[in-house]
Amino acid sequence: MTNRTLILATGILIGLLTAIQMQAQVSRGRVIEGLTIDSELLNKEVRYTVYLPFDYERSERYYPVVYLLHGYTDNDAGWIQFGEANIKADKAIATGEIPPMIIVMPDGGVSWYLNNHDGSVAYEDFFFNELMPHVENTYRIRKEKRYRGIAGLSMGGFGTLVYSMKHPDLFAACAAFSAGLTPPQEAPKTDQDRWDQVFGPVYGKGLQGEERLTDHFMRNNPFHIAREGDKQKLRSVRYYIDCGDDDFLSGANSYFHRVMLQEEIPLEYRVRDGKHSWPYWRSGLIDGLKFIGKSFHQF
């Protein structure tokens, strides 16, 4: 082995050892899974998962919070099991990319995070009247709007936009990934079986064509809210959406961006190479949390 080769090999080894050491030095936050809240509104126990930043147990500080919503048919463990949200948050907090924050991941089932049209399920009421007060009284969380954010993927991206637009007094910023958006003009065209299975429980089964554009549907449609809502209140929230160029929802997300521009509601829009998949959401999570985290800083 020549001296040059030896020096090169030594440099590579030192680099690898340094990387391993830096990885080992990243402080780990705590993930608490299997937590439950006994909901009177839903008449059942509802699971949720919490991520606490590494210094939570050693401090007396109160922390900002981000509610992180899962997709259709997933549950509260999805963002940890498949999204590696805790691992990515640990690294981003360690490097200063995002501020230390508490992340709350509730189980939304297939509710679309809404109250059903017939009152049979009141998930939105549960979220704001039971879950949020419970969590923010259990953990050291700052309860002001400026320290509260919300994010989610697919169905959770839809929930993110609906919640932040219907309750702009409660959220400083939001980040929606591959949001499950349905423009009102597209709802009548949805296949009947898909409508009855996926959307029917929330908006009404058996509805066809224009019948689907009920008051309940429109009140909970981000396109309609952007056009008809109180613009001043809507502009008090910072919006971020991210959808892959190969995602089947890319058209709807792009259209939503255009509608927000037409209504002069500021929105950060990202399109990256990718589809409706966990690799895409994992790779984009921290950028979304960075966007939300900017609202938590003092200036």
204 belongs to a structural domain: no
The reply to whether 16 falls in a domain is: no
Is 201 inside a domain boundary?
A: no
pLDDT at 24: 43
Reported as half-sphere exposure (CB side, CA atoms, 13 A), residue 22 has a value of 9
The whole-number pLDDT of residue 299 equals 61
Q: Is residue 20 part of a domain?
A: no
Residue at 190 is within a domain: no
Domain range enclosing 83: 29-184+221-296
| Residue 104 and residue 48 in contact, taking contact as beta carbons nearer than 8 Å | yes
**Is residue 205 one of the residues assigned to a domain?**
no
**Domain CATH for 43:** 3.40.50.1820
- Spell out the per-residue pLDDT of the chain, length 299, in tens: 555 555 554 555 544 444 444 444 568 999 999 999 999 999 999 999 999 999 999 999 999 999 999 999 999 999 999 999 999 999 999 999 999 999 999 999 999 999 999 999 999 999 999 999 999 999 999 999 999 999 999 999 999 999 999 999 999 999 999 999 999 999 999 999 999 999 999 999 999 999 999 999 999 999 999 999 999 999 999 999 999 999 999 999 999 999 999 999 999 999 999 999 999 999 999 999 999 999 998 76
Looking at this protein, which amino acid is placed at residue 298?
Q
CA distance 101 to 172: 14
Residue 297: its pLDDT value, please? 85
Please give the pLDDT value at position 25: 58
pLDDT at residue number 21: 45
The torsion angles phi and psi of 94, rounded to 5 degrees, stand at -65, -35
Q: Which amino acid is at 182?
A: T
Q: Is position 203 within any domain? A: no
Q: Which two tokens stand for residue 9?
A: 């090999």
Give me the pLDDT at residue 17, please.
43
Nearest of 135, 142, 149 to residue 35 by alpha carbon? 135
- Residue 228, number of CB atoms within 10 A of its CB: 12
In the chain, the number of structural domains is: 1
* Predicted pLDDT at 241: 98
Position 122 in a domain: yes
Question: Alpha-carbon distance 35 to 184, whole Å?
Answer: 37
pLDDT of 18 reads 44
- pLDDT at position 12 is 55
